[in-house]
Amino acid sequence: MNEVAHLRTPLTVEDIEPLRSGNPVTITGIVYSARDAAHRKLFELIESGDALPIPIEGQVLYYVGPSPAPPGRVIGAAGPTTSYRMDPYTPRLLEFGLKGMIGKGKRSSEVKEAMTKYKAVYLAAVGGAGALMARAVKEAHVVAYPELGPEAIRKLKVERLPAIVVNDMHGNDLYIEGRKKYRL
């Protein structure tokens, strides 16, 4: 079993260079929630040359649309959404310095190539474990696009948010390696 890497945001190339697909990690610090509607808006701002509502360089985006917070909690269930819906927008965000993404499922070849080129990682969180993931969120505030409801961009303060490296900055892919390992 691999030793858990404890990451603090914002991330640097030096933070993610030692990571390899299959490594378990925890993330502490600020991450931003963003799903496909928010990605489309960020992409449009980049394409028009306008300023983004959140910092991108060194940041981690969590593909989550949390449920409403129950009494006494800062956030409701906060499980990952399927990542491929963000793929059309991701290479441009990586070009602007995005260093990490958290979601579930495979990424396109274009996104994997951009992660290698711009030195970033894709992390998977366990789907169906939204209540567990929410425990790592200590603060949550909408910072952009409140009209998107659950898909608004939120600034999340997290402590030891668990994930697994799927795509490292060296071009490795856990989904491909896992199939090879167990092929008969």
- Which residues are marked as active site? 39
Q: In 10 A of CB 26, how many CB atoms?
A: 16
d(CA 90, CA 42): 10
Q: In 10 A of CB 89, how many CB atoms?
A: 21
Amino acid at 112: K
The closest alpha carbon to 153, from 87, 91, 65, belongs to 65
d(CA 111, CA 117): 10
Q: Are 25 and 123 in contact (CB under 8 A)?
A: yes
d(CA 69, CA 59): 24
Q: Are 119 and 109 in contact (CB under 8 A)?
A: no
d(CA 44, CA 175): 31
Q: What is the DSSP letter of 2?
A: P
